[in-house]
Amino acid sequence: MVEANAIAVLGDDVERARGRHLGASSDIGDVGLLMPVSHRYASGAVGHHHNPSFRVTDHRQATVEPASYLAMTVVDLLHGDARIARDVLTVTPPELSRAEYLDLRRRMAHTRDSWPQLTRNADDTN
């Protein structure tokens, strides 16, 4: 549904990111444990993310177009008493309950805090 709406806004000749490993991460993976998600990617910028070199070069491509097709998707999902959204939730149930997710995060934080301190080996030249 997101792809169809993106095509409606951008046209059919746009490059698609589906299936590509982009070498980035975000919190959307955590959200995906609790509900179905779609991560939007857009062009309109150059440089490295989270870096002073990052610059938006086309405001419309970077913000307006993705906002448009995502808003269209929300309308599609919620139209008709949210039938499509309910169908999506039925066929893609959460991997974890909220309680299970919070327990996982607490255990991860505990594990992180108890990691041994890593020291640089004197022979390590890196």
Instruction: Please report whether residue 57 resides in a domain.
Output: yes
Instruction: Please report whether residue 64 resides in a domain.
Output: yes
- With tokens 């998600």, the residue in question is 37
Instruction: Please report whether residue 115 resides in a domain.
Output: no
Q: What is the pLDDT of residue 98?
A: 93
pTM of the model: 0.70
Q: Is 46 exposed, middle or buried (0-12, 13-18, 19+ CB in 10 A)?
A: exposed
pLDDT in tens, 84-113: 999 999 999 999 999 999 998 888 887 666
Number of domains in the chain: 1
Interstrand relation of 55-56 and 45-46 (parallel, antiparallel or unpaired): antiparallel
Instruction: Please report whether residue 77 resides in a domain.
Output: yes
pLDDT in tens, 26-52: 788 889 999 998 877 788 899 988 889
Range of the domain at 78: 2-15+26-102
Q: Rounded CA gap, 63 and 58, in Å?
A: 9
